[in-house]
Structure 1
Amino acid sequence: MRDSEFERLVPDAERGGGGMSNRSTLTSTELIWRAAFTRLRDLGFILRDRYSPEWVPSWVKEGFDDAWLEERDFLWGSYDDGIAIEHATTLDATRASDGLVCAIQMKPPEAESLPILRFLARPEVINDPRNHACPVLAEVPLDEWTPARVVVYPLARDWRLPPMRLVADALQFCDQLLEGLSFLHEHNIAHRDIAARNIMMDPSALFPHGVNPLATFTRIPVPEMKPKYDRVDVYSQMRYWFIDFGLSTMFASKAERKLVIWEGGPRDMPECLELDAQGEMQPNRPYDAFKADMWSLGKLLGRYFASSIPELQPLISAMTAPSPDSRPDCATALRAFRTIAHELPRRRLLRGIPNAVQLDWQPWSGADAMSQAMFNWVDYWRCAGKFWWRGTPLLVGGASEIRR
C-alpha cells in the first residue's frame, strides 16, 4: 500500500485541512492521535497538550471562548493548542528520554515505504555521509491491537526558511541534493516525488536553541525566534534531507530495474504523457523512474537557481532533456556540477539569489514589497560580508574537494 492511499483512509486527511476553525474541537483525524496519546507516552513520545485525553483549551482556562478568539486574528498562533494539524499521519512529539523534539508518522504495516526506510536506517547506510534521506530514529508498532507502525524522525524544517542569500548557499544545497539522489540511485532506490515540499533541512545548525515545531506542521504564522546563525556561519553543519518516500520504489539490483507507472507526484515528464480519449495529456505511459528523478530535480534546480547561476543552465538542460535517454545519470550529473562549482571565481559565489519564499508563497506588493526588498538587501550584504572577509570555503564535494 502506498502511504498516500493510507492517508485517504484517514478522515480529514486532505493536505491543508488543519487550521484555526473549531479550535476547541478535534477533527476526526486528530481523534486518532488522541486515542494513541497514552500508548505513545508509554513508548516514550509525548504529544502536544491538544491531544491529551484531559486537554482543556488554554484560552478556555483564561476565561475566553472560541468566538472571542476568532474575532482577534492578531492572536493567531498565540495559542498553539488551538492549531489543528494539516497532515493526517504526521505530528510533532517530544522524546521523553532527552527532551528531543521530533516528528512521528503513522504508516500501515504494508506500506511500500517501510522496507526503504528500514534499509536507509541500517547503521552502515545511515552513517554514510552521502546519505541525505531524513534519518529514521526509531520504528515501533503502535500497539498489539493496531497494525499501524510509528516511524520517528528528527524534526526537520522547510529548506526555504530562512531564505538562502548567496550563490554559495545554493551551491551547497544543490551539491547535497545531487549527492543524496546519486546515493539513492546507487542503491536502486528511485524517489519518484522530488519537489520543493519534499526537501527539508536540519534546523539545529541555524537554530541551536530549537524551533517552534508548528512552523513545520502548519502554514499558520506562529511565534518563532529568529535564527541565531546564517548559513554562511555554519556551512559545515548544514544538512539537507529528502523526505516522503511514500511513492518511492526500490529494486533488488540494477539488473532488475523495470519501468513503472505514474502513481502520484510530478506528472509532467514528457516520456510518460499520452493523449487520452478527451484529447488531454495524461501520465499513462510506463517510464524509467530514475530518469524521471533527474527530470524532477533538474526542474527544481532550474526554478530556483537558473537565473542567478547561469553556469548551471547547460547541466539543468541536460537533466530536463525531453528524451530520457539524453539525460545523464545522477552520478555523472554530480561530477559535472562539482566541476562547474569549483571553476566559479570566488566573486561569483557572492551573488545574490531570489528569495524562494517570495517565489512560492508570498508575492508581496506595494509597501510590503518595498520593505521586504529592503530586508532582503540588508540580509544579503550581511551574509556577503561574512563570506568575503572570513574567507569562508565553498563546501561542495568531499573534504578533499573543498576550495577556499
Structure 2
Amino acid sequence: MEEWSSQLITSSGPCCMARFLSAVRQCIEHVVFMHRHRIAHLDISLRNIVTDYEGHYAYIDFELSRQFDRSCTPLVHVFRATEMPPECDRNIGVDPFKVDVWALAVLILRACKLTGYWVPELMFLLRPMLDEEPNRRPSAVSCLETINYITRTLAIGPICNPSH
C-alpha cells in the first residue's frame, strides 16, 4: 500500500457522484468487516483512510484498535482519537463499536464537504449515526443496508472513470 494516497480526490477535480458513493460504501463495508471480527478501529477519520485512485479505499493507523472477546460486553475507557463522540466526555466505559459508527458519520460528512458532493439522502444514514445516545445508533451492518438502499434509489448510473 506504499503507493496509496491520503488524498481523497485528485488534483484534476472531484470524482463523479457514483464513485463518491462507492467510496462511502467501501468505508462502511470495512467497518462492518472489522466489527464482524470484533475489532473496533477507534480512530476512524479522513486522516486514516487512503485510496489508490482506482476506486479502492482502505483504513490505516490501527494504533488505537482493539479486538474484543465475544464472551464479554466490550467497553473502552480513556482514549484519544481524532473524532470523539459526546459520550466520551462522561468518564464512563463506552461501546467501541458505537464510537466507530459515530466517527464514520463524521468521516462521511467531512468527505461530502471536501468533495463538494452533498447528497441529501445521506441524512437518512447520518442522522441516526450521530445520535448523542450511543444505544440509539445503528450497527455498521444497518448502515451498510441503508447506504445500499440509498444508492439503489438514487439511480445515478454506473461507476464512472476516475480520470474524467
Work out whether the TM-score is over 0.5.
yes
- CA separation in 1, counterparts of 2:98 and 2:41? 11
What residue in structure 2 maps to residue 317 of structure 1? 127
When the two structures are superposed, what TM-score results if normalisation uses the length of structure 2? 0.85
Question: Which residue matches 1:345?
Answer: 155
Residue of structure 2 aligned with 1:303, choices 105, 110, 128 = 110
What letter corresponds to residue 176 of structure 1 in structure 2?
Q
Alignment counterpart, residue 266 of structure 1, candidates 82, 88, 99: 82
Q: What code does the residue aligned with 1:250 have?
A: Q
* TM-superposed deviation, 1:267: 5.2
How far apart are 1:195 and its partner, in Å?
Answer: 0.7
User: What is the aligned partner in structure 1 of residue 64 from structure 2?
Assistant: 247
Runs of 4+ in 1 over 6 A off after TM superposition: none
Q: Which residue does the alignment assign to 2:98?
A: 291
**RMSD between superposed Cα atoms in Å:** 2.0
Q: Could you say which residue in structure 2 is the equivalent of 1:166?
A: 16
With structure 1 as the length reference, what TM-score do the two structures score?
A: 0.36
Q: Residues 29-178 of structure 1 correspond to what in structure 2 (within 5 A)?
A: 153-162=1-10, 163-178=13-28
Maintained 8 Å contact 2:38/2:68 = yes
Q: Secondary structure of 2:94's match?
A: coil
Partners of 1:285 and 1:164 lie apart in 2 by 41
SS of the residue aligned with 1:200?
strand
**CA separation of 1:189/1:318 partners in 2, compared to 1, >3 Å: closer, same or farther?**
same
Structure number with greater CO (CA < 8 Å, separation at least 6) is 2
The Cα of 1:168 is off from its aligned counterpart by 1.2
> Aligned partners of 1:268, 1:252: CA distance in 2, in Å?
23
Structure 1 residues 156 and 314: alpha-carbon distance in aligned structure 2, compared to 1, 3 A threshold = same
Q: How does 1:222-233 map to 2 (within 5 A)?
A: none
Deviations 1:78-108 (A, max 9, x none): xxxxxxxxxxxxxxxxxxxxxxxxxxxxxxx
Count of residues in correspondence between the two structures: 155
1:332, CA displacement in angstroms? 0.8
Whether 1:256 and 2:63 are equivalent positions in the alignment is no
- Is the Cα–Cα contact under 8 Å of residues 42 and 99 in structure 2 kept in the other structure? yes
Identity of aligned residues (%): 32
Unaligned runs of 5+ in 1: 1-152, 206-237, 275-283, 350-392, 396-404
